[in-house]
Structure formats: C-alpha cells, structure tokens
C-alpha cells in the first residue's frame, strides 16, 4: 500500500513538471519571431536590426591601443608623399641682379603685348606676363598659370613660375636693354604657395610664403622686396671691397708708419662710396613707400613680412656702418695728403725765400764792390 502511494505521487510530480515546461515553451513562442516575419512586418527597420558585416576579424579591447598606434604610424608614413605634393605645388621665384641700369622704355616697346598695366605711379619697374600653354588646359585661369618677369630700372629682374631651363631665354630678353652688365650675375631663390582655403591672407614659411590668392599686385610686392634684396647684396659686396682696401692701407701704415696712395685713387674711392649710397637710397628706393601696400592692408602685411624675412633694414644699417668706416678713413687720408701738400708748399716757399735772399746778398755784394772799384 505504501509503495503504490509513493509511485502515484511520483507520477503526478512528473506529469505536472512536463505540463509546466510545455506552458513555458508555448509562452516563449509568443515572443519569438522568425527573421522572415520580421522582414515582412517591419521593412523599414530591417537594416537597423542587423550588424554591419566586415571581412576583418574584430579586435579584442586588449589590442585596441596597439591598433591605434599602428594606424597613427601608417598615417605618419603616408604624410611623406603629401609633403612632396606640397613641394611640387610651389611656384618658383628667382631674383637676379644683372646690371646697373635697364632701359625700361625700350624693353616695354619690344614686349608691348606682354606688359601688365601699372597699378601705381612708380616708374622704376616693368611687369611682363607670358602665357604658358602647358598650364592652361581649358580650365580656370589664375595667376599661377602664367609666367611673370618683373624688371627694375636699377638692374634687378625677378622671374615667377619659370623653370631653370627657361631662365636664360627670359634673361636674354632683358640683357638686350641693359647697360653696365656685371661680370658675375647674382641670384636668389624663393617660392610661393597658393592656398585658397587659407584662413589668413598670408602665412610665412622657410624660404617660401603661402598666399590665399596670388595676383599681380602681390607679384609686384614680392618682386620689389626680392629685387631690392639682391641689389643690396651687390652694393654690400662693393662696400666690402672698399673696406678691405682700407684695411690693407691701415695694416701697411701699422708696419711702416706711412702710406702710399695716389690722390686720384683716393678721390675715386670717395666717388664710389658716395655713388653706392646714392644708388641704394635713390635708385633702389629702399625707403620709398609702396602705393599698393598703402591701399590694401594685406599687401602691406606681405611687404612687412618679406622685409623682415630678408632683414632689409638691418642689412642697410650694416651697409651704412661700413660706409661710415670708409668715410672716416677717407677723411683721415685726405688730411694726411693735405698735410703733405702743405709741407711741400712750405718747403717751396722756404726755397724761394732762400733764393731771394741769396739774390739780395749777391746784389749787395756787387753794389759794394762796384764803387770801390
């Protein structure tokens, strides 16, 4: 009897457990929906319910930092070609000092169709614009699509966007109107980078300048500073030669206590020093006001930056200091030569007086001998 009752209770427990599991399965089926029914019932949200598929295996969070490091390193390595692209995008600028004077009127008459109309009253420069067919493929034309040559009356020529193999062609066109050609031409290189998306109007860099827009006025401003700088180098070299010559004279005076210099040579040095100073101030126009920079602040910013970059004011200060040294030596030597001349005149006067005294004595002696005879 006890065994039958225990088996009955056990069978009831098993039956009740099976019913509860069946009820749970039936309840969960109410909430489980097939992917097909999901796509049919909610087509608008079908893409948002799927994860994005990638062929790459997912990374563990433990290696996230390492991946970021490699990713950054790959970007650093990829920056090399970008820098090369920036170098390729620069517009080359070449400044030359050819002679001491250029006839701008004859140069303008020969190249009248290439002349850019002047935007200021200054008459010491001439800007020429040449078309480069290789850079114009039917697209928008900008200043960087042309070749520019800015020539200055005092002997400088600045070439924009001209490659090395074409430099001689443009310089030869300028040389035909030059006088006082130099035995050795001076040269300086610079570059311009044009970035229309630049926030500021300009930005400086090592041996180049970045402009928001390159136009003819900015070309004139840049050309004026480069032309003055390369001309200033020439005049500084001339003054350095005079300083060295006077240094040799001073060293000779230190050894011998005297010097030997022709008066004509001294006057030539005086004329050379004065002409160099006059050329820097008057012809080169180192301190003249730029009308283009006066009208627009952005050109004034470019002018001030380039003058500071090339240290124009400081270099002129050094030139002026050397000229004062030359002037001091010239003044000293002039006094020495003048004293020598005064000494010579004094000796001549002494000799003449001596001769006059001798003649007077001879006359006295003759007169005294005559009556007694």
The average pLDDT across 53-71 equals: 41
Instruction: Label the pairing between strands 91-102 and 178-194.
Output: antiparallel
Closest CA to 211 of 90, 124, 323, 101: 90
pLDDT at 30: 42
Q: How many CB atoms lie within 10 A of CB 289?
A: 9
**For residue 132, which phi and psi values (nearest 5 degrees)?**
-110, 105
> What percent of the chain shows pLDDT beyond 90?
36
Closest CA to 149 of 132, 126, 131, 169: 126
Q: Which of 33-37, 187-191, 247-251 has the least mean pLDDT?
A: 33-37
135 pLDDT tier (thresholds 50, 70, 90): low
Closest CA to 269 of 283, 248, 253: 248
Helix (H, G, I), strand (E, B) or coil at 173: helix
pLDDT at 28: 42
* Among 1-15, 76-90, 143-157, 263-277, the range of highest mean pLDDT: 143-157
H-assigned helices in the chain: 2-31, 35-41, 64-88, 104-110, 167-175, 216-256, 263-278, 291-295, 297-309, 312-372
State yes or no: pLDDT of 3 exceeds 60: no
Output the CA torsion 134→135→141→145 (10° steps): -120
**Adjacent-strand bridge partners of 102:** 178
State yes or no: pLDDT of 151 exceeds 90: yes
State yes or no: pLDDT of 65 exceeds 70: no
Q: What is the residue extent of each domain of the chain?
A: 88-309
What average pLDDT does the chain have? 77
The average pLDDT across 313-323 equals: 91
Q: Both ends of the chain: CA-CA distance in Å?
A: 211
State yes or no: pLDDT of 312 exceeds 80: yes
Name residues whose C-beta falls within 8 Å of residue 160's C-beta, 6 or more positions apart in sequence.
91, 92, 93, 147, 148, 149, 150, 192, 219, 222, 223
Question: The dihedral of CA 282, 287, 292, 294: what is its sign?
Answer: negative
Q: What's the whole-model pTM score?
A: 0.67
Residues in the chain: 373
Q: Which of 61-75, 147-161, 190-204, 226-240 has the least mean pLDDT?
A: 61-75
pLDDT at 372: 56
Q: Which of 91-95, 218-222, 259-263 has the least mean pLDDT?
A: 259-263
178 pLDDT tier (thresholds 50, 70, 90): very high
Helix (H, G, I), strand (E, B) or coil at 157: strand
Q: Is there a contact between 216 and 273 (Cβ–Cβ < 8 Å)?
A: no
State yes or no: pLDDT of 227 exceeds 90: yes
The average pLDDT across 77-87 equals: 45
């Amino acid at each position: 009897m006890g065994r039958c009752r225990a088996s009955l209770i056990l069978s009831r427990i098993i039956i009740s457990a099976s019913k509860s599991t069946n009820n749970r399965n039936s309840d969960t089926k109410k909430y489980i929906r097939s992917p097909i029914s999901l796509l049919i019932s909610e087509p608008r949200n079908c893409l948002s319910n799927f994860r994005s598929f990638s062929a790459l295996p997912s990374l563990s969070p433990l290696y996230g930092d390492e991946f970021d490091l490699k990713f950054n390193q790959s970007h650093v390595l990829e920056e090399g070609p970008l820098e090369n692209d920036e170098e390729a995008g620069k517009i080359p600028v070449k400044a030359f000092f050819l002679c001491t004077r250029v006839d701008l009127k004859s140069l303008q008459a020969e190249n009248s169709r290439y002349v850019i109309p002047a935007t200021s009253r200054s008459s010491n420069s001439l800007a020429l614009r040449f078309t480069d067919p290789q850079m114009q493929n039917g697209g928008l034309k900008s200043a960087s699509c042309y070749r520019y040559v800015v020539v200055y009356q005092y002997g400088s020529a600045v070439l924009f966007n001209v490659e090395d193999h074409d430099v001689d062609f443009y310089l030869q066109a300028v040389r035909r109107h030059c006088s006082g050609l130099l035995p050795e031409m001076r040269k300086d290189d610079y570059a311009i980078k044009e970035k229309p998306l630049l926030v500021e109007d300009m930005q400086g860099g090592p041996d180049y300048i970045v402009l928001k827009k390159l136009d003819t006025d900015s070309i004139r401003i840049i050309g004026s500073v480069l032309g003055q700088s390369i001309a200033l180098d020439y005049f500084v070299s001339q003054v350095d030669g005079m300083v060295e010559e006077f240094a040799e004279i001073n060293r000779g005076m230190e050894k011998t206590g005297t010097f030997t210099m022709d008066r004509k040579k001294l006057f030539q040095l005086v004329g050379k020093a004065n002409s160099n100073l006059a050329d820097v101030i008057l012809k080169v126009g180192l301190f003249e006001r730029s009308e283009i920079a006066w009208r627009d602040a952005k050109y004034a910013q470019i002018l001030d930056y380039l003058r500071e970059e090339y240290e124009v004011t400081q270099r002129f200060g050094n030139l002026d200091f050397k000229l004062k040294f030359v002037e001091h030596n010239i003044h000293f030597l002039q006094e020495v030569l003048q004293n020598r001349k005064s000494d010579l005149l004094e000796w001549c006067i002494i000799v003449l007086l001596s001769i006059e005294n001798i003649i007077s004595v001879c006359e006295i002696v003759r007169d005294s001998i005559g009556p007694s005879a």
